[in-house]
Amino acid sequence: MHNNFFLIYIFLIVFVPKLKAQTKYDEENDVDIHWSYDDQEHWPLVFCRNGTQQSPIPLSQNTSLLTDLKPLVIENFDEEYLLDVSQNGHTVVVEIPEDCYSEIPKLSGGKLTENYTLSSFHYHWPSEHTIEGIQYSLESHFVFFATKYVNYTEALKHPFGLTVIGVLYQETNYTESDNFEVIAEAVKETSGQLYTKVRTSTPINLNDFLPSNQDIFFSYEGSLTTPNCSEYVNWIVFKDTSIIKNTYYMDLKHIKDENGTLLEFTNRDLQEINGRTINLQKS
């Protein structure tokens, strides 16, 4: 009797933690977490390799259809939010905590036929989209889901379920806003622990992350740029870029993958346009 309990105990302490570590699964995106930017040809889903509407793509006025689109309506980005910052071995993720008392940011307008709710935002370095052939230092993705669905995961199952706003940033020596410093500080505080959420020390106005000119943007149908590469994504990328101070940039991207290796780059390769229409808001 005693021996059996002892064996079960040994089994639990020796095997269960490993089992847990090896079956880490990204439920939200229905995909195994063990993929890497070094090995993009082997991303876990066939869809990432044989999709026909994949992202990112090169954006240029030359290859766009100049269109008179409705203005974007970005609501509640001027609220002051305390944010939850974490890392997942692929990027830095920022979420608005569920116990926040302000209105959640919303998006509509442009080519969108639905209202969208902000789910989270994250970063890629260097930028994934290019504009007029230029790759910038950083790109942030504000991920919205169609408000008529309950959450991100549910929206991912439906055409036009998601809309992502892409913002590209140039490094500079000086910025007026300390928005990125607050995020970078929180990243340091996670001490390299994956999935640990750290609340920012001061509230942030999300507008500080957007370019000052939000009137001109590219708009096209594409995919998530990470597995599972779902193609139910409306893309909106501002033509105007914004800035990030170089020291905050270094701190923000100082994270490691699941094996403790510094993530040098977190951008997916450019994908084929495959005859898709890219709209560019007329200036």
Ligand X SMILES: *[C@@H]1O[C@H](CO)[C@@H](O)[C@H](O)[C@H]1NC(C)=O
Question: Residue numbers of the site for ligand X (CB under 6 A)?
Answer: 28-30, 34, 36, 45-47, 50, 52, 60, 62, 108, 114-115, 132-133, 150-151, 153-154, 156-157, 171, 173, 228, 230, 246, 257-259
Nearer to Zn ion, 61 or 88 (CB): 88
Taken in order 167, 171, 176, 180, is the CA torsion positive or negative?
positive
What is the spatial distance between Cα 231 and Cα 277, in angstroms, rounded to a whole number? 15
Of 283, 282, 225, 281, nearest in space to 111 by CA = 281
Instruction: From the list Zn ion, ligand X, none, pick the one residue 160 interacts with, judged by a Cβ distance below 5 to 8 Å according to partner type.
Output: none
Nearest distance in Å: CB 101, ligand X: 20
Nearest distance in Å: CB 5, ligand X: 34
Closest residue to ligand X in the complex (CB): 30
Considering the rule CB under 5 A, would residue 111 count as an interface residue with Zn ion? no
What is the spatial distance between Cα 48 and Cα 225, in angstroms, rounded to a whole number? 9
Query: Contact at 8 Å (CB) between 82 and 203?
Result: yes
Instruction: From the list ligand X, Zn ion, none, pick the one residue 264 interacts with, judged by a Cβ distance below 5 to 8 Å according to partner type.
Output: none
The window from 50-58, 76-84, 139-147, 239-247 that contacts Zn ion (CB under 5 A) reads: 139-147
Nearest distance in Å: CB 268, Zn ion: 8
Nearer to ligand X, 34 or 276 (CB): 34
**How many residues contact Zn ion, by CB under 5 A?**
2
Taken in order 191, 195, 199, 203, is the CA torsion positive or negative?
positive
Q: What mask, x for binding Zn ion by CB under 5 A, covers residues 187 to 226?
A: --------------------------------------x-
Instruction: From the list Zn ion, ligand X, none, pick the one residue 52 interacts with, judged by a Cβ distance below 5 to 8 Å according to partner type.
Output: ligand X
What is the spatial distance between Cα 211 and Cα 141, in angstroms, rounded to a whole number? 13
Closest residue to Zn ion in the complex (CB): 141
Instruction: From the list Zn ion, ligand X, none, pick the one residue 141 interacts with, judged by a Cβ distance below 5 to 8 Å according to partner type.
Output: Zn ion
Nearer to Zn ion, 126 or 215 (CB): 126
Considering the rule CB under 5 A, would residue 141 count as an interface residue with Zn ion? yes
171-208 burial, b at 16+ Cβ within 10 Å, e below that, comes to: beeebebebbbbbbbbbeebeeebeebbebeeebebbb
Stated as kind and residue range, the H or E segment containing 87 is strand 84-87
Query: Contact at 8 Å (CB) between 185 and 179?
Result: no
Question: Measured between alpha carbons, how far apart are the two ends of the chain, in Å?
Answer: 80
Q: Counting Cβ atoms within 10 Å, is residue 103 exposed (0-12), middle (13-18) or buried (19+)?
A: exposed
Which residues of this chain interact with Zn ion, rule CB under 5 A?
141, 225
